[in-house]
């Protein structure tokens, strides 16, 4: 396509999507696949127009062709936001794709590309066979940093090793090999027990030496340097595998000794349990949470001003210049999520909060939190910052947030990257109340 003809075909494609003409949409994509994610001058794609008019069949067709459902239009809305606003719940369900109710998509680190197959964790014979199975994958970590490779386009991927590359490491007495699951089959009825299995293993060997285990045909292998930066550069699928792998390996590193009696512990059940070697220990009698991996619940809140057009954001001294984010804090024992949200907001900012509503959640393997995202409504607006928690908090207008999400420059606000739940909470707030 070139020039005027290209524009005419694009207009026809948008019109077909908007009117629900699935055969024409399919025909045009077969000839001009570049139309799929092309946007008009206002940032609207074919998917957004189909969602606007409730055409589920067209939405399904575009999704099947691999369109980007997370893309935002010029007003900061995704196709899911558009479908929700116009009341097309059947389309919103398609665009949600099994994700959380609040934001219509799975958050980064939240995808489940593997079948965890938890019933096989205690079957040692099956695990031994799975390790040696053709196609089984091993992820190698050094100091909780995964080995990665960079392709010719500069995109970062987890480095997938085979059993021979890590066999000697897995046979060491203190080795911890974590079973992550098996690959999901696209064929209905396929036996998951025979599919390639995925494992994670960590080593204390020198990182430079470990890089020698990288396949010769795989260029530019390295270990990530900065978790909060480098671990946000993977595809959604790789991030979904990385999250449980890193969290479990971090847990093993912290719980080499029993927290009940101080004796050494041993990994069992495919790396999903640690058992005290002291048979007389209380942890070996009954079920104890000290024997199983921890996940620490954290509430993260977008506080909405009583006027509905401002939100409260705070910043820590470690944040990049100009960046503000949602307030957050750990849930304490015996505390509800709502109570934790109100307490944390008041402790950090001095603002009192009333209603608290759940939006979505996100695993955060640094080392092992579950970020529970909420929107809550402020009862008071005066700010009094606890500087031992954060260094500053401000009310930001809807326009400021929208400009920051869309990357307009210059902007008085920098928001967290799109892989974070804070970004998604902001996006959800802008999208659900926008005038489409």
pLDDT at residue number 63? 87
Helix count and strand count (H, E) for the chain: 14, 15
Nearest to 88 by CA among 100, 98, 79: 79
pTM: 0.76
Q: Do residues 65 and 73 touch, judged by C-beta distance below 8 A?
A: no
pLDDT at residue number 98? 38
pLDDT at residue number 216? 65
pLDDT digits (tens, 9 = 90+) for 250-263: 999 999 999 999 99
Sequence spans of domains, the chain: 3-96, 114-254, 296-432
pLDDT at residue number 99? 37
Domains 114-254 and 296-432 share a fold: yes
For residues 272 and 121, give the distance between their C-alpha atoms in angstroms, rounded to a whole number: 8
pLDDT at residue number 93? 73
Q: Is the dihedral of CA 401, 406, 410, 413 positive or negative?
A: positive
pLDDT-flagged residues of the chain (< 50): 1, 97-103, 188-190, 434-436
pLDDT at residue number 432? 60
For residues 54 and 70, give the distance between their C-alpha atoms in angstroms, rounded to a whole number: 18
Tell me if residue 393 falls in helix, strand or coil. strand
For residues 44 and 67, give the distance between their C-alpha atoms in angstroms, rounded to a whole number: 13
Homologous superfamily assigned to 3-96 = Ankyrin repeat-containing domain (1.25.40.20)
Average pLDDT over the chain, rounded to an integer: 89
Nearest to 137 by CA among 200, 92, 50, 61: 200
Look at strands 296-304 and 369-378 and give their pairing. Answer: parallel
pLDDT at residue number 193? 66
What is the per-residue DSSP string for 119-169? GGTT-HHHHHHHHTSTT-EEEEEETTEEEEEE-TT--EEE--B-HHHHHHH
Q: Is the dihedral of CA 177, 183, 189, 194 positive or negative?
A: negative
pLDDT at residue number 286? 83
Phi, psi dihedral angles at 147 (to 5 degrees) = -75, 130
CATH of region 296-432: 3.90.79.10
CATH of region 114-254: 3.90.79
* DSSP code of residue 417: P
Nearest to 76 by CA among 43, 101, 37, 40: 43
């Amino acid at each position: 396509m070139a020039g005027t003809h290209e524009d005419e075909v694009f207009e026809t494609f948008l019109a077909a999507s908007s009117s629900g003409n699935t055969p024409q949409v399919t025909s045009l994509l077969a000839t001009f696949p570049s139309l799929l994610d092309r946007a008009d001058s206002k940032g609207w794609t074919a998917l957004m127009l189909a969602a606007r008019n409730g055409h589920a069949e067209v939405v399904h067709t575009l999704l099947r062709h691999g369109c980007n459902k997370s893309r935002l239009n010029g007003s900061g809305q995704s196709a899911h936001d558009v479908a929700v606003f116009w009341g097309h719940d059947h389309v919103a369900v398609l665009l949600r794709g099994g994700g959380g109710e609040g934001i219509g998509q799975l958050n980064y680190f939240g995808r489940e590309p593997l079948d965890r197959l938890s019933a096989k964790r205690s079957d040692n014979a099956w695990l031994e066979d799975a390790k040696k199975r053709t196609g089984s994958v091993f992820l190698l970590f050094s100091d909780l940093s995964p080995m990665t490779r960079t392709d010719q386009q500069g995109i970062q991927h987890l480095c997938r090793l085979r059993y021979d590359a890590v066999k000697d490491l897995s046979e060491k007495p203190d080795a911890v090999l974590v079973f992550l699951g098996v690959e999901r089959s696209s064929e209905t009825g396929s036996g998951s027990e025979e599919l390639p299995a995925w494992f994670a293993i960590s080593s204390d060997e020198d990182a430079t030496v470990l890089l020698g285990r990288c396949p010769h045909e795989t260029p530019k292998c390295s270990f990530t340097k900065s978790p909060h930066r480098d671990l946000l550069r993977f595809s959604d699928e790789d991030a979904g595998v990385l999250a449980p792998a890193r969290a479990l390996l971090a847990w093993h590193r912290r719980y080499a000794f029993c927290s009940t009696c101080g004796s050494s512990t041993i990994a069992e059940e495919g790396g999903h349990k640690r058992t005290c070697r002291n048979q007389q220990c209380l942890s070996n009698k009954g079920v104890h949470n000290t024997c199983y991996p921890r996940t620490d619940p954290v509430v993260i809140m977008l506080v909405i001003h009583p006027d509905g057009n401002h939100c409260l954001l705070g910043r820590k001294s470690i944040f990049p210049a100009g960046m503000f984010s949602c307030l957050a804090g750990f849930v304490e024992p015996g505390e509800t999520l709502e109570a934790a949200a109100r307490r944390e907001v008041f402790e950090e900012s001095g603002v009192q909060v009333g209603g608290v509503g759940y939006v979505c959640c996100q695993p955060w393997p640094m080392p092992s939190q579950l970020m529970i995202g909420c929107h809550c409504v402020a009862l008071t607006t005066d700010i009094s910052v606890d500087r031992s928690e954060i260094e500053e908090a401000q009310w930001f207008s809807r326009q400021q947030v929208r400009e920051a999400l869309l990357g307009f420059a210059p902007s008085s606000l920098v928001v967290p990257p799109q892989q974070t739940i804070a970004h998604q909470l902001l996006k959800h707030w802008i999208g659900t109340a926008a005038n489409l």
